Homo-oligomer: A and B are copies of this chain.
Amino acid sequence: MSYKAPVKDMLFNIEHLPRIDQIAQMPGFEDAGLETAQAVLEECARFNEGVTAPLNFEADKAPSTHSGSTVTTSEGFKEAYRQYTEGGWQGLQHPAEYGGQGLPKTIGAACGEILNAANLSFALCPLLTDGAIEALLTAASDELKATYLEKLISGQWTGTMNLTEPQAGSDLAQVRTRAEPQADGTYKIFGGKIFITYGEHDMADNIVHLVLARVAGAPEGVKGISLFVVPKFLVNKDGSQGERNDVYCTGIEHKLGIRASPTAVLQFGDHGGAAGYLVGEENRGLEYMFIMMNAARYAVGVQGVAVADRAYQKAVEYANERVQSRPVDGSVQGPASIIHHPDVRRMLMTMRALTEGCRALACTAAAAYDAAHHHPDAEARRQHQRF
């Protein structure tokens, strides 16, 4: 077994730390009790242990490749992503109103850990889509919501986060990508972005870029940044796929440890301008992007737990296999695997304790997020937002 999801420990946390029975009393979470959590986590474990985890090592050896303006993901990724969307995993913690399952983040975050532990490079695609969904849910117009949310939540389309530019890093005050207002209320986007996770790939029909840009005449610095939806393919009025938009991948970069995740360099507007749709109001882009960035920050914390647990499991496996010296307590005659050595056990137990501690913390934080959004009492919601 290359990876075994820690379902038992997760369920213990969900039952006892945030008290899932209390979360299930909040409006909208009525079906989200312990039994649901157990059923979801067991299915999530089955899917990722069987489908995404086995792709992890091979994909690291044969990463995504770039040619022209297209990116081909590692072998098996496209089919695994098809199964991922078919299982409804992308919509797990998103509103039923747009086709999601509407489950608490308390359950969703545990599933996120399993997915990330199984295959971090693969998991980055859904992780970014999650963030794009949260940002649109919070800040976008009803029209943008109607056009994009359902397909992002089903996983038919994926999302990205476009902040960094080559001349400024992620110092957003210096963003130079510009948005030119058009007569029809849309914008034309021009500029270059770097380090865009899953900025181009072949796993979904469309890619929905959330892009920070500056409208002509906007105030200097971060107060003059607006947020735009820039789809890879335009969307027709009936929701069907339209023309190719003027955003193209000019290369992918190597990131240590996530070789199979295509980190794209994107060029907007080299052929007349990329159609962009304003999210919320002009010059409030940074505020909206922070919704996505905070979602990503939490998810990256969960990634840490995920990688730590996968590493722990590998370490235990190796400590059981690797033969070296004899046990100090004489419990084994002759050569022993290193798991018999007290200092090796101490190191393994430290790994395990730190990983389980951080998992408990992540579970508690997810529950606070759920309460901040779903608690029936406004003051309680406000309190949990500060948490």
Contacts and interface: CB of A to CB of B under 8 A. Distances in A.
Nearest to A169: B324
Interface residues of A, number: 15
A174 interface: yes
Interface string A257-293: 0000000000000000000000000000000000000
A338 B170 CA distance: 12
Interface in A316-335: 322-326, 334-335
A167 B323 contact: yes
Nearest to A322: B169
Nearest to A176: B335
A166 B324 contact: no
Nearest to A334: B174
B167 A324 contact: no
A200 B169 CA distance: 46
Contacts of A338: 169
Contacts of A322: 169
Interface in A168-187: 168-171, 174
Interface in A300-350: 322-326, 334-335, 338
Contacts of A324: 168-171
Contact of A166 (B169, B170, B323, B334): B323
Contact of A323 (B168, B323, B326, B334): B168
A346 to B, nearest CB: 19
Contacts of A174: 325-326, 334-335
Nearest to A326: B171
Nearest to A170: B324
Contact of A168 (B166, B168, B171, B335): B335
Contacts of A171: 324-326, 335
A329 to B, nearest CB: 16
A320 to B, nearest CB: 14
Interface in A323-382: 323-326, 334-335, 338
Contacts of A167: 323, 335
A167 B332 CA distance: 13
A326 B174 CA distance: 9
A171 B328 CA distance: 13
A334 B167 CA distance: 9
Contacts of A335: 167-169, 171, 174
A174 B323 CA distance: 11
A171 B340 CA distance: 14
A319 to B, nearest CB: 12
Nearest to A323: B169
Interface of A: 166-171, 174, 322-326, 334-335, 338
**Which 10 A-B pairs give the minimum distances between C-beta atoms?**
A169-B324, A171-B325, A168-B335, A169-B323, A167-B335, A174-B335, A167-B323, A171-B324, A168-B323, A169-B325
Given A169-B324, A174-B334, 4 more contacts: A167-B335, A169-B322, A171-B326, A171-B335
8 contacts: A167-B323, A168-B325, A169-B323, A169-B324, A169-B335, A171-B324, A171-B325, A174-B334
